[in-house]
Amino acid sequence: MSEPRNFNYVRTEMLAEQTPPSTQVGAVKWIQENLFNGILSSVLTVVSFIAVALIIFDIGPWLMNSVWVAGSLTECREILDGVGGACWGVIRDRWHQLMFGFYPPELYWRPIVAMILMLVALAPILFPSVPRKVLWFSVAFPFIAFFLLWGGSIWLPIMVALGFVIGGVVLSLMQRFGTLAATLAAIVVPVVYWLYVAFPLVDGVHNVLPIGIQAVSSADFGGFMLSIVIGITGIVLSLPLGVLMALGRQSSMPLIRWICVIFIEFVRGVPLITLLFTASLLLNYFLPPGTNFDLVLRVIIMVTLFATAYIAEVIRGGLAALPSGQYEAADALGLDYWKAQRLIIMPQALKISIPGIVNTFIGLFKDTTLVVFIGLLDPIGFASAIRANSDWQGIYWELFIFIGAVFWFFCFSMSRYSMHLERRLKTDHR
């Protein structure tokens, strides 16, 4: 029997863990991979650093020497005493105009409360962790916001909300006559109710129970409050209308398809400013004499219709991206058209269309600044009015930097939420 062989070259213990090279971990690795990964990347990085440094060295002293408390541009210059610096005192002095326009100062609490309630109403829509029961408040919020912002009789938003309840009841009762008939009835009946019943009913009930708060005219709206009201309303209304338009454009019924096609192509081919001028000037010629159609409401309608056309095309792209097998699977399950769209087709199409939808929303919110051309004083309009005042004549950069920063905050927030939603829904299919 031979002796067991001794393998001296076989290690019987593990080596101690060694620290990885500094170039393979941490900040050094990130810099190497992202900033100096090759000749072109290194050149672009150096050029970018130089450009940023020049901007900082040029703007830095102007920002460091800022004046925050001043009642006029002349007072700012006296405080600076010949040294270049920003005069942010204009924001401190005129912030109420930039935020609320001509809204009565003693009623500022109403748009502030409406803004807080809007965040509460959006929470269950944007975040699934919020209890679903809060959606009832989300449904009621538009009527609450209208009452807070415009004031007047409390019966007006209640009677308008009652029209939607009537539409829901009609839709449920007419289902046995077919989906199309039920949908048309659910649209026609509430419209007739609003035109011929709601407003006389409001007057009658208010005479018996006069409950309400101080009314505020739309002419007093302005600043960021006006932009938020128009932007949020347009975003909320354009999405469902865009879905219907996208489905209508793909409909097998020629009349519906051609109506949707004509609407989409017409709106996409006309600048928004043209639609706004139509709403503010031309629409009055087609209304009965003595008709008072609120200008802000007209603008909201035009902005909504404009965004609807673009949303419809974005969603149509999402529908076109779905494989035909999804439609065949819905047919194989025995689902009718609307159930197939609600349960199978539309959830996938909307998931694919998230970047395009949010991009349209961001563009819509920025386009609210165009209302300045029809006489509504949004932040840009108030900036021009402030600059025309003798106290602040000559101020320029500070106002527009502040306005741009606020718009950037809202748009960046929408962009980040879009990215969060894409990651949550795994739109890249990984």
User: What would the pLDDT profile of 135-151 be if each residue is shown by its tens digit?
Assistant: 899 999 999 999 999 99
Give the model's pLDDT for residue 20. 67
Residue 428 has pLDDT above 60, yes or no: no
Domain assignment present for 257: yes
- Model confidence at 224, pLDDT cuts 50, 70, 90, reads very high
More confident site: 321 or 427? 321
User: What would the pLDDT profile of 249-260 be if each residue is shown by its tens digit?
Assistant: 988 888 888 999
Give the model's pLDDT for residue 8. 61
Domain assignment present for 209: no
- CA neighbor of 352 nearest in space, from 422, 288, 412, 292: 422
Domain assignment present for 127: no
Domain assignment present for 369: yes
Domain assignment present for 351: yes
Give the model's pLDDT for residue 284. 67
Domain assignment present for 390: yes
- Which residue, 7, 32, 64, sits at the end of a domain? 64
3-state secondary structure of 4: coil
Give the model's pLDDT for residue 134. 86
Give the model's pLDDT for residue 255. 86
More confident site: 323 or 114? 114
Residue 56 has pLDDT above 70, yes or no: yes
Domain assignment present for 181: no
Residue 405 has pLDDT above 80, yes or no: yes
User: What would the pLDDT profile of 166-217 be if each residue is shown by its tens digit?
Assistant: 988 888 888 777 777 788 888 888 888 888 888 888 888 888 888 889 999 8
User: What would the pLDDT profile of 82-107 be if each residue is shown by its tens digit?
Assistant: 788 888 989 988 889 899 989 999 99
Residue 357 has pLDDT above 90, yes or no: yes
CATH of the domain at 350: 1.10.3720.10
Domain assignment present for 400: yes
Residue 3 has pLDDT above 90, yes or no: no
Residue 429 has pLDDT above 60, yes or no: no
More confident site: 304 or 60? 304
Q: Which domain holds residue 40?
A: 22-64
Give the model's pLDDT for residue 265. 93
List, in order, residues 6 or more apart from 245 with CB less than 8 Å away. Answer: 260, 263, 264, 308, 309, 311, 312
| Strand ranges (E), 129-270 | 152-153, 212-213
- Which residue, 33, 64, 95, sits at the end of a domain? 64
Task: Please check whether residue 421 is in contact with residue 354, taking contact to mean a CB–CB distance below 8 angstroms.
Answer: yes
Residue 5 has pLDDT above 80, yes or no: no
- Model confidence at 285, pLDDT cuts 50, 70, 90, reads low
- Which residue, 10, 37, 64, sits at the end of a domain? 64
Task: Please check whether residue 23 is in contact with residue 29, taking contact to mean a CB–CB distance below 8 angstroms.
Answer: yes
Domains held by the chain: number: 2
Over the range 96-106, which residues count as b (16 or more CB within 10 Å of their CB) and which as e?
A: ebbbbbbbeee
